[in-house]
Chains A and B, each alone.
Chain A
Amino acid sequence: MEIYKKITALEYPLDVNIILRKKKSIKKYLLLQDDLIEKNIVILGGSTTSEVKNILELFLLNNGIKANFYESEYNKFYEDALFGNDILDKFNPDIFYIHTSNQNIIKYPGYKESESEIATLLSNEMQRYKSIWSSLSKFDCAIIQNNFDYTLDRSLGNLDSSDIHGKTYFINQLNNEFSKSSREIKNLYINDINYLSSYFGLKNWFDKSLWYQAKYALSLSAIPELAFSISKIINSILGKTKKCLVLDLDNTCWGGVIGDDGLGGIHIGTETAIAETFTSFQKYAKELKQRGITLAACSKNDFKNAKEGFEHPESILKFDDFTSFKANWNPKHQSIIEIAKEINIGIDSLIFIDDNPVERDIVFSQVPSVAVPDIGADVIHFIEHIDRNGYFEPISLLADDINRGQYYEDNKKRAVEQLTFKSYDEFLVSLDMMADIKSFSSVYLDRIAQLTNKTNQFNLTTKRYTAGEIENIAYRDDYIKFYGKLTDKYGDNGLIAITIGRVEEKQCHIDLWLMSCRVLKRDMEFAMLDELVKQCKEKGVSEIVGYYFKSAKNSMVSNLYEKFGFELTETNSEDTIWKLDITNYENKNKFIGIRND
């Protein structure tokens, strides 16, 4: 259990003065945490980046990431990206951040230029960035790219945004092109400084004096907001975002107390201003739910009353929208632990929203890994605490995420059935499970990379891969690499298991063995092992070497290789190495039908 507390100055609402003044002591404090993940981050700047780096470092540390930075020389982003240099080549980057702004636009349209001349200007400007992105693609890592902020001064006034000669118009077109590129280029993510600067207020965002003195393309007080935004994208790339929104009910989902006021007395709908604010909060939660975030309710209430609240005709959320629904009189931290168990996700994937500060305190102090934003008591501010903190920041809308809510609901039905069978084997048979176990293919590379970054419990080596690395492995013959997808009579569990083995002569070394916890106890791991052995035999391998590297979260698989029949050959503190002679291996999977390539 982590004992350190997150720095609230680094969460919404940011305390910019504290961050800027105390950054050195904040950094010292955050470096005391255990289990920091190290990442190599390259900052390619079109302006001064020194303070951007310092502050970004804090936000990443606050999320458990220790960054090693490479910073390009001042305004050498283009040269470094295209021609590289010895230091950069040896740096082994995980993530690139390209910090450019409207100051880096080479040439705006002149007033006499024709439409086609302006189109050429646009395409020249785009070509610079496209060549940067394509040149960086050899590193196979995520590229975070700023789009453009507006210029503070507009000599054309309002016309600047509508006339083709306007700077604002030109910037809008560039931003559209950037968005388009990010949809086409894998691993390219846009850091939307156009939104950020407008959120922050353009006149506070750009500081002319600071630009002329020190070539910062944004004011010092805007840097924390920028760094916060970058850190949210990085969190998302690394799969560190939250998965489940836990909601209190009375005075959170609706106004009033359902137990006292009754269904007719609570505030929800469009009749009054108060009712409307609760409705808009429900709409926001519903949007999250529709893109794959799981909802849970945690309320001190009579179950029947609580459920009835969602039968209000104007209620946007319905009882069925909640995957887990705890309405009882237990302490809320207990209910929250049960919610995590029921949904089968890590407790650190939860965020808890409650208007009552006492309940927030209890949850925060008893289960510190749950995110409990200090939202105050007024529903009008609840959304911004969820939204601005980027708890659910997505890097893409994967079909799997959108279907995930469905999966959890299917899972509830599975749990009910399990109770009615005489033996567990009988239950497994009844599930009619069917697995696709196939070699990596291009459509799944993103999902595979995502899983390697967010699977912590059923993960033997906890090795993290970028989408680029996964793609490389997919094409290499000296790797055995396959994924497993599992369906059953209740639905599709999606892609949930990955195995990567490196073949060296007669041995296969298991670099990665992971499975999503949503398919625990389904014997899927046996089906995966059968496949590994089969492919090993095809490659003339006679022995498989398995590695268990102990992490803070993977103790559940410390004995997996033993269960598989491997022999322990080496123990190094809590890490272990195992071997299996596959000459006389017999298939272990009995319950899952298999489809191969």
Chain B
Amino acid sequence: MTREKVFNGVQGIFRDIFDEDDLMISDTTSSDEIEDWDSLNHINLVSAIEKEFEIRFSLGELMTLKDVGAMVDLMLEKIK
């Protein structure tokens, strides 16, 4: 799976969870920029990603995810 494909999938999930159809995210998008991106919604995002891409994050990994770019990179590792 290409990085672009993964990125687009993540964007779709962000749009659903935050209910903004035209939300554009980038590698540097972080929880500081999206108002509703609190710790509980972070759980919802991660869980939706796990479902859609059929991967699992471990506890330690979740703590280190600082922005969308880091998230996508980690996903790419797992999808391989």
Which A residues have a C-beta under 8 Å from some C-beta of B? Answer: 17, 20-22, 24-25, 28, 48, 50-51, 209-210, 212-214, 216, 220-221
Contact = CB atoms under 8 A, between A and B. Distances in A.
B19 A214 contact: no
Interface in B16-59: 16-19, 39-40, 43-44, 47-48, 51, 58-59
A25 B19 contact: yes
Contacts of A210: 43, 47
A212 B59 contact: yes
Interface string B49-73: 0010000001100100000000000
A213 B47 CA distance: 12
A204 B39 CA distance: 22
Nearest to B18: A24
A221 B48 CA distance: 10
Contacts of A216: 43
Sorted nearest first, the 6 A-B pairs with minimum C-beta distance are A24-B19, A21-B16, A220-B47, A50-B40, A214-B43, A25-B19
A193 B74 CA distance: 36
Interface residues of B, number: 15
Given A24-B16, A51-B40, 9 more contacts: A17-B48, A17-B51, A21-B17, A21-B48, A24-B17, A24-B18, A51-B44, A209-B58, A213-B43
Most buried by B among A48, A51, A213: A213
Residue among B17, B40, B47, B51 facing the most chain A CB atoms (10 A cut-off):
B47
Contacts of B58: 209
Contact of B59 (A22, A209, A221): A209
Nearest to A50: B40
A522 B48 CA distance: 59
Nearest to A22: B16
26 contacts: A17-B51, A20-B44, A20-B47, A20-B48, A21-B16, A21-B17, A22-B16, A22-B19, A24-B17, A24-B18, A24-B19, A25-B16, A48-B40, A50-B40, A51-B40, A51-B43, A51-B44, A209-B58, A210-B43, A212-B59, A213-B43, A213-B59, A214-B39, A214-B40, A216-B43, A220-B47
Contacts of A21: 13, 16-17, 48
A220 B48 CA distance: 10
Contacts of A213: 43, 59, 62
B37 to A, nearest CB: 13
Nearest to B39: A214
Contacts of A212: 59
Nearest to A48: B40
Contacts of A50: 40
Nearest to B56: A209
B62 to A, nearest CB: 7
Interface of B: 13, 16-19, 39-40, 43-44, 47-48, 51, 58-59, 62
Nearest to A207: B47
A214 B47 CA distance: 12
A209 B50 CA distance: 13
A216 B43 CA distance: 10
Contacts of A22: 16, 19
A213 B18 CA distance: 21
Contacts of B62: 213
A220 B51 CA distance: 11
Given A20-B48, A24-B18, A220 B43 contact: yes
A424 B39 CA distance: 69
B59 to A, nearest CB: 6
A214 to B, nearest CB: 5
Residue in B16, B18, B58 with the greatest tally of chain A CB atoms within 10 Å: B16
A365 to B, nearest CB: 29
Contacts of B47: 20, 210, 220-221
B35 to A, nearest CB: 13
Contacts of A24: 16-19
Contacts of A20: 44, 47-48
A220 B18 contact: no
Contacts of A214: 39-40, 43
A24 B23 CA distance: 14
A327 B14 CA distance: 53
A165 B47 CA distance: 36
A220 B59 contact: no
Nearest to A219: B47
Contact of B44 (A28, A209, A220): A220
Contacts of B16: 21-22, 24-25
A282 B18 CA distance: 46
The winner among A21, A50, A210 for most chain B CB atoms within 10 A is: A21
A267 B6 CA distance: 53
A25 B17 CA distance: 9
Contacts of B39: 214
Contacts of B44: 20, 51, 220
Contacts of A51: 40, 43-44
A508 to B, nearest CB: 51
A22 B20 CA distance: 11
Contacts of B19: 22, 24-25, 28
A71 to B, nearest CB: 12
Contacts of B18: 24
A473 B18 CA distance: 46
Contacts of A209: 58-59
A200 to B, nearest CB: 16
A51 B38 CA distance: 13
Contacts of B40: 48, 50-51, 214
A592 B48 CA distance: 64
A290 to B, nearest CB: 42
A523 B47 CA distance: 61
Nearest to B40: A50
Contacts of A28: 19
B45 to A, nearest CB: 10
Nearest to B63: A213
A552 B18 CA distance: 35
